[in-house]
Structure 1
Amino acid sequence: MYAEGTAVSSALARLFGSANGGEALPLSGIRERASKELSQFARIVRADLAPLGIAIPPAISFVSCKQCALTLENEHPQRDAILSWLEGNDRIAKYFKEVEILFEVVRATEHAGELFPEENCFHIGLTSAGPIAYFDSHRCD
């Protein structure tokens, strides 16, 4: 448990830098940072997949849950190639987790005191219109 908390603190420190005079970062700042990191994640994935001949569209949908590792959610025509690229790709998994943490902070702040179902997972969809991030249920297979 300690290592996970340390990893979260470390990720937030990397994303936000050190606090200025102990002032709290406004929610709008966290939202803006989450959006920027989501866009950067999309750019990195597109750049990595382009040499493999994988383009968007069709959309690519990633999901990560407490019960299962980062994986591809949708039935993409090049699913096997994307899963091969994703397998053991610690850089992408780490970046996905950093984006997830930011969106988790936003969600927790917007819905303070609300408990979320365990089956809620974090999703990132890469579409021709741009990336989207959301929480929704998912069943790990």
Structure 2
Amino acid sequence: MMYRTILAIAAINGLLAAILGAYGAHGLKPELSEKLWSAYSTANQYHFYHTLALLALAAFASVRHWPKLVWVAWGWQLGIVLFSGSIYALALGAPSWVGPITPLGGLTLMSAWALLFQQAFANKDI
């Protein structure tokens, strides 16, 4: 059943990434400076990349029961919120104190990838 939770997280993220990408391209791009548009676009790319990773993780979790996979999923989710979310917010005019959240999000994404790597060697059933 863990794969259903991860699949639901991936689906919500895919929907949000598509909405935010369309909104950015059609509503924000003309209003943002080149620097802010580039940042917003980067946030959207990482949002999509990790949505696809969540989707792949859900598929893997449907055939293998590794309890720590859910931690990878939640790590990616938190990383999306902190990394992409803070960049989206900054591009939309959030106060500068939001900026230091971005690297914490990046570290969270990296930590989840490292946990997945560790789990690949901890589980002998692949």
Q: TM-score, normalised by structure 1?
A: 0.30
Q: TM-score, normalised by structure 2?
A: 0.32
Higher strand share: 1
Higher helix share: 2
